[in-house]
Structure 1
Amino acid sequence: MRSQYNLKLPHSVYSGKNSLENIKSILLENKVDKLAIFTDKGIERAGLLNYPMEFVKQTGVDVVVLDDLPAEPTYKQVQKLVDRFKESKADFIMAVGGGSVMDTAKLASILLTDRYGVYELLSRPQLAKKCMKTLMIPTTAGTGSEATPNAIVAVPEKELKIGIVNDDMISDYVILDAIMIKKLSRKIAASTGIDALAHAIECFTSNKANPFSDIFALEALDMILNNIVQACDNPEAMDAKNKMQIASFYAGIAITASGTTAVHALSYPLGGKYHIAHGVSNAILLVPVMKFNEQVCVGKLAEAYDRCVHIEKNCTTVEEKSKFMIDQFEKIVKHLDIPTSLSVFGVPESDLDILVDSGMQVTRLLDNNMRKVTSEDARKLYKQIL
């Protein structure tokens, strides 16, 4: 554990029933003239944009909607939308969507200049400074992007996803209203929920874990383990859905204070090369990596058991508690019908060397892993999921 640590948070966070109505006061207190709304066409087709737009319209501000963003976008696709944003002359940003939408909006908030773009930030993220305030309204309970200073983009040349990290991307306002995820499909709710679970347990068992991150990671893990199944299985379970939103936000704060580890590091090539959804990639790797790490974080997993298990506790030793937690992760992934093998996506074993080479490039996250991951370790982990 580090001897020094810090905590960075959004300025204001709203949650609970009808929390979207805070849009009006946010826009009015910031004297917004023209609002740029980042979203995607899937959000619009689902009618989700209508909920926040009801309150935007009541303010009378001008609006430009930027929705030309595919899932898992490349840095060039993100740059294209950022350029459209700059042309709009908007003076406030609102993002309504999942991780890619929010990440793009955050990048736009620091890229009003023409001196550099997304590409330059891949290697020099600290070049940019905040130029505009942001409001994040997530439509999934999983990515935690609304809380983090991170933006993930695909880099086709490297067949990899790269994280751009800049503290100025932390959002100014966040609204977590369960109405935004009520109609979320079980498939997406499951994969994004497991992404949040991975954030929580990885940050709790990271080399960078500290008293600040542990508070949020443990609370997030507790809420996720005890709500994710109901939130995914029952469309009317609004309390469970709101708890998943809050848990995802808390796990995002944990990322900011600590950091994810080998689960996320090794999942990046799966999204970058094969375009497997980020949450699914993490779900596939979660249990194999946690079993690999167990020998060095058995105490932390036992601590998580003591905090998060609310049924009758029959485990007494740290080893039993640790095994129980990993078994629970496995049971949840199975219950939610998330694939646990790359064979479903047609990934051939002949690509093993490419996976290893790409995964080992993600040193930013591999360095956080409590157990050192060698190339041979990565090879064994990938072989388990092929």
Structure 2
Amino acid sequence: MLWDFNFNLPTSIEFGNGKVKNIGKRAKELGGKKALLITDKGLAQTGILEKVTASLDQEGVHYIVFDEISPNPKDVDCEKAYHQFKDEGIDLLIGLGGGSSMDTAKAIGTLLTNEGELRDRYGVNLLDREIPPLICIPTTSGTGSEVTRGSVITDTVTKQKMAILDLKIAPKLALVDPELTLSLPKSITAATGMDALTHAIEAYTCKPSQPISDALSLYAIELIAKSLPLAVENGNDLEARKNMLLASLVAGVSFDNTDLGAVHAMAEPLGGLYDTPHGVANSIFLPYVFEFNIPSNPEKHAMVAAKLGANKEGRRTEELAYEGVVLLKELAAKIGIPNLRDLGNVNPDDFPFLAEGAFEHLCTQANSRELTKEDYLKLFQKTYEAKNISMIENI
């Protein structure tokens, strides 16, 4: 197969134990004199924040800490920070935490250098100017936001998650330190790990897939399948933590150069309406979308199944691909991912609204198989009614 494709990696990456200690030096190298450090209150109470601020203090980089963000970042949080700090002379941004912190940093940066409201920038390549230099320091192994040009923000008026997609918000530097993930609770380890797996699978199977991203995706899938259960079981397993953080980063590079698909198209309306954690939502929908998509490209879905651990010997391609559905369900169950019904706040009467949001989502266009609103409605219903992880029912 021949491809015409582009591949961009606008972010410099430093990966390894203890890399967070370099933040002060790197901030100075980027010309930072006064940084806005965006994090959440949970991290603000840990030793992780202190490691960052100690390094900034040592290099004489002034900073302000903003920790008033929520797990699904909201437009009002970003706008609050912008109005609070727009006259402070901020010339550097630091996103410390999970995807919420890093996406919030990108959104605040958008407001600092581009006129108008945040909703004016939802879409692809709608920024007029680059944001201030951004350093991202991930403390979860899931979003890959430290190496992507995307920021996903919940619009509190429409209850929809919206995306800013532009190279002008890409981080200048990612400091990726596995030691920072050792304190991550089991539930967040599981959800963010499945988020990374979703990124890798959708980047590999989506319509705009391309050879460099394909190679990265397959590497990430295999690494996650082997390491995620270990990281959930023993959060102090530094080797498993390192592998998961690497897989998350690699998957982020992959999907940032291709696209995502129907899993994200379903997960983001759910998160926008119910504030469901993004990784949990992706985990819940992944097996059912994977199953739906198999007819569009059995060979690629069979390859995913093999990387997940399915035995290829003597198996027909489609048989192998459908085993991937079972393996995804079993992995989610093993690490404690809840079913859609078990979330407790999901109302089936909202499924038409959610199906509409999924159908209108940008990722629908890139999904490997065409979907209608009715297809999405069936997928929401099927996921909600699912009980047996080993049951496969074609739509």
If the length of structure 2 is used for normalisation, what is the TM-score?
0.92
Structure 1 CA distance, aligned partners of 2:172 and 2:35? 15
Contact 1:93/1:134 (CA < 8 Å) preserved in 2?
A: yes
Q: Tell me: CA distance 1:10–1:212, structure 2 relative to 1, closer, same or farther (3 Å).
A: same
Partner of 2:213: 213
Contact 2:114/2:129 (CA < 8 Å) preserved in 1?
A: no
Larger mean Cα displacement after TM superposition, 322-331 or 233-242: 322-331
1:27 is aligned to 2:27: yes
Identity fraction in percent: 30
Contact 1:280/1:338 (CA < 8 Å) preserved in 2?
A: yes
Report 1:1-386 matches (<5 A): 3-113=3-113, 115-122=115-122, 125-307=125-307, 309=309, 314=313, 316-362=315-361, 364-386=362-384
C-alpha displacement of 1:19:
1.5
Deviations 1:85-130 (A, max 9, x none): 3222121111101111101112233332462231211257513321
Aligned to 2:22, what secondary structure does the other structure show?
helix
Contact 2:221/2:247 (CA < 8 Å) preserved in 1?
A: yes
C-alpha displacement of 1:312:
6.5
Instruction: Compare relative contact order (CA 8 Å, sep 6+) and give the higher one, 1 or 2.
Output: 1
Contact 1:259/1:365 (CA < 8 Å) preserved in 2?
A: yes
Deviations 1:109-162 (A, max 9, x none): 333246223121125751332142111001110011111111101123322111
Aligned to 2:93, what secondary structure does the other structure show?
strand
C-alpha displacement of 1:35:
1.8
Q: Which amino acid aligns with 2:371?
A: V
Q: Tell me: CA distance 1:315–1:89, structure 2 relative to 1, closer, same or farther (3 Å).
A: farther
C-alpha displacement of 1:376:
1.2
Partner of 2:392: none
4+ runs of 1 displaced by more than 6 Å?
none
Q: Structure 2 regions of 5+ residues with no counterpart?
A: 385-395
Aligned to 1:154, what secondary structure does the other structure show?
strand
Structure 2 CA distance, aligned partners of 1:125 and 1:85? 25
Q: Tell me: CA distance 1:382–1:321, structure 2 relative to 1, closer, same or farther (3 Å).
A: same
Larger mean Cα displacement after TM superposition, 322-331 or 248-257: 322-331
Deviations 1:298-338 (A, max 9, x none): 100222344554x8654532123212322221111001111
Structure 2 CA distance, aligned partners of 1:270 and 1:315? 40
Q: Which amino acid aligns with 1:357?
A: E
C-alpha displacement of 1:354:
1.6
Contact 1:111/1:128 (CA < 8 Å) preserved in 2?
A: no
Contact 2:207/2:367 (CA < 8 Å) preserved in 1?
A: yes
Contact 1:263/1:289 (CA < 8 Å) preserved in 2?
A: yes
Larger mean Cα displacement after TM superposition, 144-153 or 323-332: 323-332
Structure 2 CA distance, aligned partners of 1:381 and 1:7? 33
Q: Which amino acid aligns with 1:325?
A: G
Structure 2 CA distance, aligned partners of 1:162 and 1:2? 33
Aligned to 1:253, what secondary structure does the other structure show?
helix
Structure 2 CA distance, aligned partners of 1:341 and 1:295? 25
Aligned to 2:276, what secondary structure does the other structure show?
coil
Aligned to 1:143, what secondary structure does the other structure show?
coil
Q: Tell me: CA distance 1:287–1:12, structure 2 relative to 1, closer, same or farther (3 Å).
A: same
If the length of structure 1 is used for normalisation, what is the TM-score?
0.94
C-alpha displacement of 1:236:
1.5
C-alpha displacement of 1:374:
0.7
Q: Structure 1 regions of 5+ residues with no counterpart?
A: none
Contact 1:7/1:256 (CA < 8 Å) preserved in 2?
A: no
Q: Which amino acid aligns with 1:241?
A: R
Contact 2:28/2:61 (CA < 8 Å) preserved in 1?
A: no
C-alpha displacement of 1:201:
0.3
Contact 2:114/2:127 (CA < 8 Å) preserved in 1?
A: no
Contact 1:315/1:321 (CA < 8 Å) preserved in 2?
A: no
Contact 2:56/2:62 (CA < 8 Å) preserved in 1?
A: no
Q: Which amino acid aligns with 1:337?
A: G
C-alpha displacement of 1:345:
2.4
Q: Tell me: CA distance 1:245–1:10, structure 2 relative to 1, closer, same or farther (3 Å).
A: farther
Contact 2:227/2:244 (CA < 8 Å) preserved in 1?
A: yes
Contact 2:308/2:327 (CA < 8 Å) preserved in 1?
A: no
Q: Tell me: CA distance 1:52–1:196, structure 2 relative to 1, closer, same or farther (3 Å).
A: same
Q: Tell me how large the CA RMSD over aligned residues is.
A: 1.9
Q: Which amino acid aligns with 2:53?
A: M
Aligned to 2:145, what secondary structure does the other structure show?
coil
Structure 1 CA distance, aligned partners of 2:11 and 2:266? 32
